[in-house]
Chain A
């Protein structure tokens, strides 16, 4: 191992590569940190601005407030400075109002001319794409070239055994890998220490730890892989070509093709068919905006019967608010049902490439990385659900206020200064706050990838042992 490292530092190439890699890391780190703090401050500022105008509302009819609505802004997790995941492709802001589930709009991808589609320069990308190539380059010839020039034979005749040689070389390469890895670890820890990060530093540190353990495993696998290929190859040229082939196949071709296959196998419905399916179901169940709707007429009769009165104006609460409360309940449930099945389609699309993680350590580390940085699909769905829950609560709170405070005689219409609720209620309703996913749920998502990596480490050990019995010195 010492021998290997001494050899590695004899050539100038390694210094050049290390310098270039550190420069790239620095650029990725600076733009990652800049992007994180800038985007979060923009979103926070707008969240506050939106809140101010919410609170500045005078006394008014609560249903007006339900439509005034508010916004939910998606906040970035601290570790998103390390891995952008899908954050650039998901919307950042959604308008929350009564009766309607609006789309989450304004993704970075939407503002992009298409340059984004070439990929994003992040520290994760350097680790997943560039470092493997560097390691393959440093490792392809270590065994095969010694066989070619005969040193291997000498080494073996001097009493070294194959197992020691192979393990030593793998670990030597791993030390080199850690050398490249170190600046990235430094930048990220520095950011977690000194950066303006979140409310929950303990969570970030746990994620950081798991994340970097995952990457260490990944690098170890790459080192084993290079040594195995280098031992089995006929010539060093073949070793290099095989490793480059593996890289191309596992990093570029398989992930992209499998996602495309998933997308083709389970097509996404058009927005119109999604919306009209929801609309159809709502109408079938009962449309609270239709004055002659049979469902709501039956509901009215039963409410009147329960309270023993003849007309809605005699009820102890405002009937308009009651109808909207029931309407919101049904439409929100039906929307959720359809939205869940849409998400199910997305998940089926994603599973095709997700399951290739079992065979492909490059996909495994990608899912782990996105999960622990909170920039994965689950994180986005989680945000949407939080926003929808908040929207529902907002609408229902306003309906409750209407039932309680608005005169029972005022059934419809929300205009004017007469039937109003005091503005102190607006402040009482708390603002939306995007909660980060709990670590447990990220762990669940990452588990497949973690098992895959562990399996690969085990497999590489076994492979190395097998090779140490079979390998030939000439």
Chain B
């Protein structure tokens, strides 16, 4: 009988067409992920070769004046992209994964954006996470909305109820055919993704697969719950599609509107102005005072004294430092506000399986906002290291030749990409699925 149910199901042209469509879109999405990864990889390779020639050119021009040289030289700091990012591009299409910074004030540099077409951002990435989160539920709806109603509408249901011992067993068998097919499609897509994107079989990837299986189970349970009410096919289709619209579009959009209005970020603009004023107004204020503030921050450089006649680099970089020091309060407020946003959105998304899944995917793939913020923090540390290395050399008026430039190759940040046991991502989905299953059992008892 099982084989017959399978064949009967696959005979429908709509079913075959939607299977082909989802496989096609899945493969396209993996291709898009692949293109994304190779673009990022190419950009990083470019940085490697560019940094060498960039430093050579500037050293040749300004080696006699290290202060001036350091005004120009940029050092690359790279946030390496994981292979999983090809599955869930997340925020990494928008946030640059390469920062090229000078030792001048940091706040004026670190928020610079990548080149992006805003229309692409608005339309969103067609990556595998999109196919999974948006399109799989639709496929599940298409496969199940008339599971029961087609039997009543064509009149076969009475036949079935006479012939089979248990109606619910028959329904479950029918359902399992669809479940198996969808899981097979999912399995195929993950296998293709694993090979094409060269994803290592690590804990994060396992977690992505596990979460996806749970998500599909959640939707099957939800659909099964709805169709048990024995309404007609048209009504089921409409109701399920409306649920899809509410869960995947209206609620997330509503939550987003709430978050944007509740947590506006004027701190970003304030930081921008205060770092500018912090540095630039020092050209007109007392040099000694500026230097004093600088030595308060870095007492180890006090030996360089208070040169206040005309222009000198000690004073210049002290001024640059003031851009960061004077805006530190705003920067902190900005960081705090971002943290609040992150927490609020995580809490709200726990109630919405699709939103939760997207945020979990992003985090597993290293493409979340949180991970970008830690990259920005790491950029700060990298910048500080550079400063502390070059400040004394500049103040001592060393020549550019005294520095071993070969060691200044692009540096990689490997922050926050470790395999933490991220089982916690599972709970909201597991609970939601469980509730739906429970609902199915209760409704099944009542109606059959």
Contacts and interface: CB of A to CB of B under 8 A. Distances in A.
Given A49-B273, A109-B121, A120-B257, A264 B94 contact: no
Given A110-B94, A121-B256, A260-B126, A271 B250 contact: no
B164 interface: no
A461 interface: no
Contacts of B121: 86, 89, 109
A350 B257 contact: no
6 contacts: A42-B266, A114-B359, A121-B257, A130-B250, A260-B32, A416-B310
Given A120-B257, A252-B134, A342 B122 contact: no
Given A103-B113, A263-B117, 4 more contacts: A53-B277, A118-B256, A133-B242, A264-B31
Secondary structure of the A side of the interface? helix
Contacts of A252: 134
Contacts of B123: 255-256, 259-260, 353
A166 to B, nearest CB: 21
A406 to B, nearest CB: 15
Given A46-B266, A270-B43, A35 B232 contact: no
A448 to B, nearest CB: 15
A319 interface: no
Given A121-B253, A272-B46, A415-B311, A244 B241 contact: yes
A15 interface: no
B387 interface: no
A349 B120 CA distance: 8
B116 to A, nearest CB: 7
B342 interface: yes
B5 interface: no
Nearest to B98: A272
A95 B234 contact: no
Interface stretch (B185-193, B205-213, B279-287): B279-287
A244 B268 CA distance: 43
Nearest to B113: A103
B150 to A, nearest CB: 10
A110 B376 CA distance: 13
A73 interface: yes
A264 B96 CA distance: 19
Contacts of A421: none
A89 B43 CA distance: 22
A451 interface: no
Interface of A: 24, 27-28, 31, 34-35, 38-39, 42-43, 45-46, 49-50, 53, 57-58, 60, 64, 67-69, 71, 73, 85-86, 88-93, 95, 102-121, 125, 129-130, 133, 137, 140, 236-237, 240-241, 244, 248, 252-253, 255-257, 259-260, 262-264, 267-274, 276, 290, 342, 345-346, 349-350, 353, 377, 380, 413, 415-416
A346 B119 contact: yes
B383 interface: no
A288 to B, nearest CB: 13
A61 to B, nearest CB: 9
Interface string B71-95: 0000000000000000000110011
Contacts, number: 247
A416 B284 CA distance: 8
Given A113-B359, A115-B255, A268 B276 contact: no
Contact of B249 (A95, A119, A274): A119
A120 B261 CA distance: 12
Interface residues of B, number: 91
Nearest to B53: A276
B256 A112 contact: yes
B259 interface: yes
A133 B241 contact: yes
A264 B32 CA distance: 7
Contacts of A114: 90-91, 358-359, 362, 368-369
B276 A270 contact: no
Contacts of B138: 248
Contacts of B261: 31, 34-35, 38
9 closest cross-chain pairs (CB), A and B: A118-B252, A121-B253, A259-B123, A260-B126, A270-B43, A89-B121, A415-B311, A89-B118, A31-B257
Given A31-B257, A273-B46, A290-B61, A46 B270 contact: yes
A463 to B, nearest CB: 23
A27 B251 CA distance: 12
> A28, A110, A125: which has the most chain B beta carbons within 10 Å?
A110
B403 to A, nearest CB: 21
B174 interface: no
B47 interface: yes
Contacts of A270: 39, 42-43, 46, 115
Contacts of B96: 271
Given A113-B368, A133-B245, A415-B311, A105 B255 contact: no
